[in-house]
Every structure is written in structure tokens, then in C-alpha cells.
Structure 1
Amino acid sequence: MKHTNKEVLLKGLKFLAGALPLAFIGPSVLYNAFNNQGHPWYIPVLIVGILATIGSIFLMFKGIMTIMKALFD
């Protein structure tokens, strides 16, 4: 099934909308983890922060690539 450019563009915008909260949450969690290095929950919080930041970067990349596909394909 062939998707229209409008559908592909909306899909890309959904990826970017999903990346937006992660772009704020990830660095905030990382900052809190590094400020509490002596706490027993340091490693799990650090892992969650790293995963949220990586997820944000991935969703941004995927969203921008999808939008470019909709505009130039």
C-alpha cells in the first residue's frame, strides 16, 4: 500500500513529538544521577537517563528522516 506524502509527514511529526519529552527528561535524569553518585539507586537512574537520551536522539533522527522522505520523495 502506497502512503501519501501527507501521511508520511504526519508519521514523521509523531516521531518528533515522541522525542520532545525524552529530550527534556533524559538530560534531567542524567543530571540528577550525577548529583547523587553515593546513592544506592545511582546506577539504575543513570541507565534510565542514558536510555531516555538515546531514545530521544533516535526518535529525532527517525522523525527528521521520515519528514525528508515525505518532502523530497
Structure 2
Amino acid sequence: MDENNRTNKDILTKGLKQMGICLLLMFAGPTLLHLTLDNKDKSLYIPLLIVSIILCILAISFLFIGINTIMNSMFKKK
């Protein structure tokens, strides 16, 4: 087996950390969004709605970045 075909473990752990952050954001974003939409009459409705939407977008972004990093660690040539 050639050295160039091996998985780069440093990049793989970075990708797994990104996926862990994604997992946390995947729970935090929709939970906060649900709690925000249930309390439309509160004074912090708009700021919490903006924060929850940003968390949901960050979850999707970290998902794609994490998957791309993991794929690069396995298949990218040095």
C-alpha cells in the first residue's frame, strides 16, 4: 500500500470535531426555533428568531464542511 493512499488522521480528527459541533448545533438550533415560535408575544421574539435561524444555518454549514474535511482526509493525495 502506498503512503499517499493512507488516511490523514489529523485531518480526520478535525473533520470529526466539526461533525460534533454540527451535532450540537442540529439540536440547539431547531430547539431554540421551536421555543421562539411558541412565544411570539415575548419581547425577545425577533432577536431569538434571528439567533435560532443562524444556528440552523451554521449546523448545515458545519455538516458540509465536516463531510468535506473527512473526505479530504481519506481520498486527497498529498
TM-score by length of 1: 0.89
Q: Does 1:28 align with 2:54?
A: no
Matched, 1:15 2:18: yes
Q: For 1:38 and 1:68, how far apart are their aligned partners in 2?
A: 45
- Paired residues, number: 70
Report the structure number with the largest CA radius of gyration: 2
Tell me by how many angstroms 1:48 deviates: 1.0
1:51 equivalent in structure 2? 54
The residue type equivalent to 1:22 in the other structure is L
How far apart are the structure 2 equivalents of 1:10 and 1:39? 42
Return structure 1 stretches of 4+ with deviation > 3 angstroms: none
Q: Percent identity?
A: 44
Query: Which letter does structure 2 place at the counterpart of 1:41?
Result: L
TM-score (normalised: structure 2)? 0.84
1:22 Cα deviation (Å)?
0.7
The CA deviation at 1:40 is: 1.0
Q: How far 1:26 sits from its partner (Å)?
A: 0.2
Give structure 1 stretches of 5+ with no counterpart. Answer: none
